[in-house]
Structures are given as C-alpha cells and as structure tokens.
Amino acid sequence: MFIRRRAPLREKITLITGANGEVGHGLIQHLAAANDTSDVVVLDLRGLDESMRGKVNRVIVGDILDNELINLLLNEYEIETIVHLAALLSTHSEFNPETAHRVNVQGTINLLKLAIEQGKSRGSPVKFIFPSSIAVYGMPDAETKQSAGAVKEEQYLYPITMYGCNKLYCEHLGRYYAQYYQQLSATRTLGVDFRCLRFPGLISAQTMPTGGTSDFAPEMLHAAVQGKPYASFVSEDSQIPFMVMPDAIKSLLMLVDAPQSQLKHYVYNVTSFSLSARQIADRVQASFPSAQITFEPDLARQAIVESWPLDVDDAAARQEWGWSPEYDADRAFNEYLIPTITHLYR
C-alpha cells in the first residue's frame, strides 16, 4: 500500500544575517522589547554577544558564503523574512576589495537564491530586506556636492569605494531576483519581495560601528564620554547625512510592514539630518565641555566622505510608506545620544 507522507511542518522564522553588528543589535533589542523575537534566527560569523543570546530563538555561528549551511537553513525552516545585514563596511572593504566583493556580493546572491528556493517551497515570496548606503553615490566634485543638496535615488550613482560598488550592484541584483530571475526558463519562478533602504551614516549611543567611513561621528561621541581625546580623520567642513539608530530601526521595520501594493520602488533613501564634522563636534563639546576633539584629516578617507552627498532626498519613502524620522539633530543629541551614552558609561 502506498502511504502518502505529509511534509513535516517547518518552523516559521525571520532570518537576520550579520546580527552581531550594530544594526543587528539595535534591531534585536527593539524586537525583544516588544516580545517579538521568538521566531528570530540569527546568523553571524561571530555568533551573537552573550547579553543578547537569550533574546532570540537560535544563534547560528556561520558564514553566508557557506552553501551547505544555506541549504541546511532551507531544509530546516520556513523563512518568511530575511533581513540581510551582513557586510564589510567601506573602510574595511578598501583594505581587501576582493574579500569585500565575496562577502558583500556573493553573500547577498547566496541569500537571494535561498529566498527564491524558500519562495518556491512555501508558495509565496520571501520578504528580503536589504540595507544599502549613501556609499552608492559618488559626487564628482565639491561644487556639485554643494549645489546638488539632497540627491534622489537615481542621481550621481558613481561610487568610488568597493563597498559602494557592491551595495549598488546588490540593489540591482535585488531588482533582478524580484522581477526577472530566470526570465527565459519555461516555468517562471516566484521572485523575492525585495525591499531596500539606503541608510545615511548611522550613530548609535550603545554600539560602535566597525570599519565604516562615517564612523567619525560616533567615534567623536564615544571618545568624549570616556574622557579620551579624539582626532577626527575628516576635516571640520566634511558633511554627510546621518540618522540615529532608533530611526534606522524604525525605518527598517516600517519597510518590512509596508503593504506590497504601496511600494512603487525597490530602493528608498531614508535620512534624518545632515551635519558637518564641526557641527557634530560642537554638539558633543556642548554636552562634554572637557572633550578634546581635533581635526587631523586622513586625505584618502576624507575623499571618500567628500564623494558622499551633502544630503539625500527621502520623499519616495515618505510618500509611499509614510516614513518620517523621530529624531532631528536636536532631539537626536538631547533626547537620545547624550542621555543614553552618559548612562551607558556611568
């Protein structure tokens, strides 16, 4: 007699890659505060800091380049959403561009393919949330940077860093996997529900980023609260857009929850405020009067910051899914950064 077996039900999860980075920490803390992490499985080369391990369903120590591991995930879980945070940031990437390409691009392809296979087996597309960056832009010169002001998603896409090239290409890959994947095969597969945010420089009161070029802002602040002198690697007038971590998490979760029918784009700028390194130093000094901040520009890193826009236009995110930041510069410093960081290092 032929007995038809029912496929065992797989546990439904949200997969967060690179969860031990600063966006991962911010996201897990936020979800844990809302009791919303029971379905969260994290994957990170370094595992997850001990203080956070108990907050999630499972921690997998592993590499997004490990295809066997990706296949295990495919078989073991029903993945509804992938938040793909794993990446090498811009400064790190310049020291080893080919490794950066493998992690940032091949790693993303592996996860997009996982999303496609999951979509097939569960019969509906997997949501794929991808943080991109202002590093995808490349302003040709200082005058253009000043006159362009807040740039739109499709303008000035000539990145000068490996990280920026990787992020820009992955934005295109996301669009491809969402809309055109295997477009010539006889049976078209379901695409992925690809949703991408372009973050400005992020500042968290709780964690330090590793290997970024917008890091002068968080570094200045974290040094001041610890009473350490800080020499900024960019000049006083270097200016780019920023956002504090609670707004980064807010935008990410708003994009996760946005109804598909409202989304007309795959890629959205989000931002909060734009300040120069001098203006950040002044705000830090106002709260920590003994802070010793000097400016000793590293010309190569400075050139990277100069290639990023003065500001970005996030009108599409505002119009299509109701984005607006909670923290302008005043609130960011007075109500989030200074009080939180002071408490943290007390």
Residues that bind ligand SER (CB under 6 A): 89-90, 133-135, 163, 199, 201, 212-214
- The dihedrals phi and psi of 251, each to the nearest 5 degrees, come to -65, -40
- Joined together, the tokens standing for residue 337 give 């950064």
Output the smallest distance, CB 142 to ligand SER, in A. Answer: 19
Which is closer to ligand SER, CB of 22 or CB of 193? 22
C-alpha–C-alpha distance, residues 17 and 5, integer Å? 33
- 3-state secondary structure at position 134: helix
C-alpha–C-alpha distance, residues 339 and 26, integer Å? 17
Q: Are strands 40-44 and 11-17 parallel, antiparallel or unpaired?
A: parallel
Which is closer to ligand SER, CB of 20 or CB of 37? 20
C-alpha–C-alpha distance, residues 285 and 295, integer Å? 14
Helix (H) or strand (E) holding 130, with range, is strand 127-133
Which is closer to ligand SER, CB of 73 or CB of 275? 275
C-beta nearest to ligand SER: residue: 212
Which is closer to ligand SER, CB of 199 or CB of 288? 199
Output the smallest distance, CB 85 to ligand SER, in A. Answer: 12
Provide the CB-side half-sphere exposure for 119 (13 A, CA).
23
Residue of 147, 173, 143, 170 whose CA lies nearest to 159: 170
Output the smallest distance, CB 134 to ligand SER, in A. Answer: 6
Which is closer to ligand SER, CB of 194 or CB of 199? 199
Asked whether 174 and 266 are in contact (CB, 8 A), the reply is yes
Output the smallest distance, CB 177 to ligand SER, in A. Answer: 22
C-alpha–C-alpha distance, residues 110 and 157, integer Å? 25
Which is closer to ligand SER, CB of 12 or CB of 172? 172
C-alpha–C-alpha distance, residues 243 and 189, integer Å? 37
C-alpha–C-alpha distance, residues 101 and 93, integer Å? 8
- The dihedrals phi and psi of 37, each to the nearest 5 degrees, come to -120, 5
Output the smallest distance, CB 23 to ligand SER, in A. Answer: 10
Output the smallest distance, CB 118 to ligand SER, in A. Answer: 28
Which is closer to ligand SER, CB of 59 or CB of 203? 203
Output the smallest distance, CB 232 to ligand SER, in A. Answer: 14
